[in-house]
């Protein structure tokens, strides 16, 4: 999937169908001049329904869909025949899609399971035919109910990527390179900041045919929680990850300072993110000799009390097996 095809935010106007009106027909037949009421009910209006699809990874197919309108219900007929129901409209969305009311920003619901269906707007109820209104004192009612009107709503669909592990780090920390060597994903890689503009997903093959999903999130900068840089557009994708992997390059001026800035941005965006499992990974360790690495370990032991850390090199393929083992253990504890 190219970056331009990754869409995680769309606005849609949805309207359901109105119900059909009931019939006020009176039964007429040869030799039966004054038959009783036999007007049928109107059909219900169509619903607009969201359906989860595990094979979708983006909202790109909805990018140019501005209006979704369900069909209207048919009117009732004679001989107590009911009008046809309006056609339902189905919108397929990837798992992890959150639906918000555009006007109030209220979260209406979210789709997290394959095949899960949620009614976005319900069709209007069909009106009752005059057959329902007959009585001993009014044997030929000449009235019936009109159908109920449909509903309409402006909604925002937001995709929050579903992944087990989220890669967190500053631009150019080596997240895309790590994703490319751990998985078969082919993210855009270059030696300048903000190469990744959209989240990339990859499946890590583990022992005994097991696997887990890892997401490369675009790099965080200071002020991201307030919307600077790519701001909220990528921070929301980290919310669903059960484990956060903080990737900091070995040539960073101050590893602990970078970690604190990243952690603070997550806290300011959503304090609940601090409850997730964390692992600090020092990348590009092929630049370090044994003596320098030992010095760094002594400092990191002081800085990261109670937080696991490890050294890896994506390019030199160092520490990757240990990293997979550690992540698998954290995900399954």
Given this model, what pLDDT does residue 233 score?
A: 55
Give, for 215, the enclosing helix (H) or strand (E).
strand 211-216
The alpha carbons of the chain give a radius of gyration, in whole angstroms, of 29
Annotated binding residues for Mg(2+), written as ranges, equal: 176, 196
Return the sign of the alpha-carbon dihedral for residues 27, 29, 34, 35. Answer: negative
pTM, entire model: 0.68
Contact status, residue 211 vs residue 183, Cβ threshold 8 Å: no
Give 318's strand partners. Answer: 313
Pick the closest to residue 263 from 307, 297, 322 (CA basis).
307
Interior CA angle at 143 toward 36 and 15, to 5°? 125
Given this model, what pLDDT does residue 193 score?
A: 42
3-class SS of residue 51? strand
What domains appear along the chain, each with residue ranges and CATH number?
1-159 (2.70.210.12), 165-332 (3.40.50.300)
Per DSSP bridges, beta strands 89-93 and 48-52 are parallel
Tokens representing 263 are 């952690």
Annotated binding residues, written as ranges, equal: 169-176, 194-198, 216-219, 283-286, 313-315
Give 29's strand partners. Answer: 32
Interior CA angle at 195 toward 190 and 199, to 5°? 125
Per DSSP bridges, beta strands 97-101 and 152-159 are antiparallel
Annotated binding residues for GTP, written as ranges, equal: 169-176, 194-198, 216-219, 283-286, 313-315
Given this model, what pLDDT does residue 194 score?
A: 42
Given this model, what pLDDT does residue 175 score?
A: 78
Query: Rounded to an integer, what distance in angstroms lies between the CA atom of residue 148 and that of residue 291?
Result: 78
pLDDT in tens, the chain (333 residues): 444 556 778 999 999 999 999 999 888 877 777 778 999 999 999 999 999 998 887 888 898 898 999 999 999 998 889 999 999 999 999 998 999 999 998 999 999 999 999 999 999 999 999 989 998 888 889 899 999 999 999 999 988 877 788 888 887 777 778 888 887 655 444 444 444 455 677 778 888 878 888 887 765 655 544 444 444 556 677 777 788 899 998 888 888 898 998 888 888 878 888 888 889 999 888 887 888 888 888 888 888 887 888 898 888 888 889 999 999 998 887
Given this model, what pLDDT does residue 6 score?
A: 66
Cβ neighbors of 196 (< 8 A, separation 6 or more) are: 175, 176, 187, 188, 216, 217, 218, 219
Query: Rounded to an integer, what distance in angstroms lies between the CA atom of residue 96 and that of residue 308?
Result: 29
Given this model, what pLDDT does residue 1 score?
A: 43
């Amino acid at each position: 999937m190219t970056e331009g095809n990754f869409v995680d935010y769309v606005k849609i106007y949805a309207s359901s169908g109105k119900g059909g009106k009931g019939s006020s027909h009176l039964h007429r037949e040869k030799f039966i001049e004054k038959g009783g009421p036999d007007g049928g009910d109107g059909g219900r209006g169509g619903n607009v329904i969201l359906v989860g699809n595990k094979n979708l990874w983006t909202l790109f197919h909805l990018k140019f869909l501005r209006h979704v309108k369900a069909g209207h219900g048919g009117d009732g007929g004679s001989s107590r025949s009911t009008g046809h129901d309006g056609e339902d409209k189905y919108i397929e969305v990837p798992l992890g899609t959150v639906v918000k009311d555009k006007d109030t920003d209220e979260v209406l619901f979210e789709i997290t399971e394959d095949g899960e269906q949620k009614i976005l707007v319900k069709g209007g109820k069909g009106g009752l035919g005059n057959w329902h209104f007959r009585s001993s004192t009014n044997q030929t009612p000449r009235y019936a109910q009109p159908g109920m009107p449909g509903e309409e709503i402006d909604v925002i669909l937001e995709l929050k990527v579903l992944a087990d592990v989220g890669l967190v780090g500053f631009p150019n920390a080596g997240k895309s390179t790590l994703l490319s060597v751990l998985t078969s994903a082919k993210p855009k890689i270059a030696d300048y900041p903000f190469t990744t503009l959209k989240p990339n997903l990859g499946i890590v093959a583990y022992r005994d045919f097991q696997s887990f999903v890892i997401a490369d999130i675009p790099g965080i900068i200071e002020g991201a929680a307030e919307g600077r840089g790519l701001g909220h557009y990528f921070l929301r994708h980290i919310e669903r990850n059960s484990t956060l992997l903080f990737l900091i390059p070995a040539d960073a001026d101050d590893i602990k300072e970078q970690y604190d800035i990243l952690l603070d941005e997550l806290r300011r965006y959503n304090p609940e993110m601090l409850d997730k499992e964390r692992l600090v990974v020092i990348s590009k360790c092929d630049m370090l000799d044994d003596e320098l690495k030992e010095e760094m370990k002594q400092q990191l032991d002081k800085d990261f009390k109670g937080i696991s850390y490890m050294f890896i090199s994506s390019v030199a393929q160092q520490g990757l097996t240990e990293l997979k083992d550690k992540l698998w253990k954290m995900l399954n504890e």
